[in-house]
Structure 1
Amino acid sequence: MTENLNQEEAIQDTPSEQNADLTQQTTEPEATPQDELSGQESTGGHDGDNQEEKEGLEDKKDKKECKESKKRELQKQVEQLTAALAEEKDRYARMFAEYENFRRRSQKERENVYADAYAEALGEVMPMVDNLERALQCGEGEQLHKGLEMVMNQFQEMLKKLGIETFGEKGDTFDPNIHHAIMHEDDENLPENSIVEVFQRGYKKGERIIRCAMVKVAN
Structure 2
Amino acid sequence: MEENKEIINEELKEEENEVQGTEEANVSENTEAAEENSEDSEANKLEEENKKLQEELDSTKDRLLRLTAEYDNYRKRTVKEKEGIYSDAYVDVLKEVIPILDNLERAVAADGSIEDLKKGIEMTIKGCVDSFAKLGVEEIDTSGEFDPNLHNAVMHIEDENLGKNVIAEVFQKGYKKDDKIIRHTMVKVAN
Q: Is 1:179 matched up with 2:145?
A: no
2:56 to 81, 84, 93: 84
C-alpha deviation, 1:89, in angstroms: 2.1
Q: Is 1:189 matched up with 2:161?
A: yes
C-alpha deviation, 1:129, in angstroms: 0.7
Which residue number corresponds to residue 148 of structure 1? 121
Q: Is 1:159 matched up with 2:154?
A: no
The verdict on how the C-alpha distance between 1:140 and 1:103 changes in structure 2, with shifts beyond 3 A counting, is: farther
- Letter of the structure 2 residue corresponding to residue 162 of structure 1: L
C-alpha deviation, 1:94, in angstroms: 2.1
1:131 to 103, 110, 122: 103
C-alpha deviation, 1:140, in angstroms: 5.1
Tell which structure's C-alpha radius of gyration is larger: 1
Q: Which stretch of structure 1 is more off in the superposition, 179-188 or 100-109?
A: 100-109
In the aligned structure 1, how far is the partner of 2:20 from the partner of 2:172? 117
Residue ranges of structure 1 left out of the alignment (5+ in a row): 1-27, 32-37
1:167·1:213 contact (CA, 8 Å) conserved in 2?
yes
The CA deviation string for residues 75-131 of structure 1, in whole angstroms up to 9 with x for no partner, is: 112222222222222222222222232222222222222222111111111110111
The number of residues matched between the two structures is 185
Q: Which stretch of structure 1 is more off in the superposition, 44-53 or 204-213?
A: 44-53
In the aligned structure 2, how far is the partner of 1:184 from the partner of 1:69? 95
1:168·1:198 contact (CA, 8 Å) conserved in 2?
no
C-alpha deviation, 1:180, in angstroms: 0.8
C-alpha deviation, 1:50, in angstroms: 4.1
C-alpha deviation, 1:49, in angstroms: 4.4
Which residue number corresponds to residue 90 of structure 2? 118
3-state SS in 2 of match to 1:192: coil
Q: Is 1:214 matched up with 2:186?
A: yes
In the aligned structure 2, how far is the partner of 1:44 from the partner of 1:208? 109
TM-score by length of 1: 0.74
3-state SS in 2 of match to 1:198: strand
In the aligned structure 1, how far is the partner of 2:184 from the partner of 2:38? 84
For CA contacts below 8 A with separation 6 or more, give which structure has more relative contact order.
2
- Letter of the structure 1 residue corresponding to residue 180 of structure 2: R
